[in-house]
């Protein structure tokens, strides 16, 4: 089985030596997304809510490029720089799923790329 690189202009271009996603068979592995606006390349981070919505929109665009949506998601990892703000991120994150929640872990980290507050990666299956 070969792997297929998934990249879309509707999500930010990678800022390092990686792809937005790799599909292997029916499984899609999405690289961690931050709050970069795909059109401008600017951070959309006036507050944590804007940041989280942009991260989810970026993930949604990559899922769509692979012919999937949030209902295909089986696993996510949320990276936060401040676990005290988990509730804010969790509320927005949860609003993108229609009750069919994936498995997940949330980890506090000391820093993230471009010094954002949240990054989320995903695994989805067809």
DSSP string across the chain: --EEEE--TTSPPPSSSS-SEEEETTEEEEEEE-SB-TTT--B--SSHHHHHHHHHHHHHHHHHHTT--GGGEEEEEEEES-GGGHHHHHHHHHHTSSS-PPEEEEEE-S--GGG-SEEEEEEEE-
Q: What is the pLDDT of residues 89-104, one digit of tens each?
A: 999 999 999 988 999 9
pTM of this prediction?
0.97
pLDDT band at 41 (very low <50, low <70, confident <90, very high): very high
**59-87 mean pLDDT:** 98
Q: What is the pLDDT of residues 50-66, one digit of tens each?
A: 999 999 999 999 999 99
Set out the domains of the chain in order of their start, with CATH numbers: 3-125 (3.30.1330.40)
């Amino acid at each position: 089985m070969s792997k297929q690189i998934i990249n879309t202009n509707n999500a930010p271009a990678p800022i390092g030596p990686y792809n937005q996603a790799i599909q292997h068979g029916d499984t899609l592995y999405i690289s961690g997304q931050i709050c970069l606006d795909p059109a401008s390349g600017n951070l959309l981070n006036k507050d944590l809510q804007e940041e989280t919505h942009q991260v989810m929109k970026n993930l949604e665009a990559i899922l769509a490029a692979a012919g999937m949506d949030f209902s295909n998601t089986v696993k996510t990892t949320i990276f936060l720089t401040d676990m005290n703000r988990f509730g804010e991120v969790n509320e927005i994150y949860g609003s993108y799923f229609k009750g069919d929640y994936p498995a997940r872990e949330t980890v506090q980290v000391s820093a993230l790329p471009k010094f954002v507050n949240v990054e989320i990666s995903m695994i989805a299956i067809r």
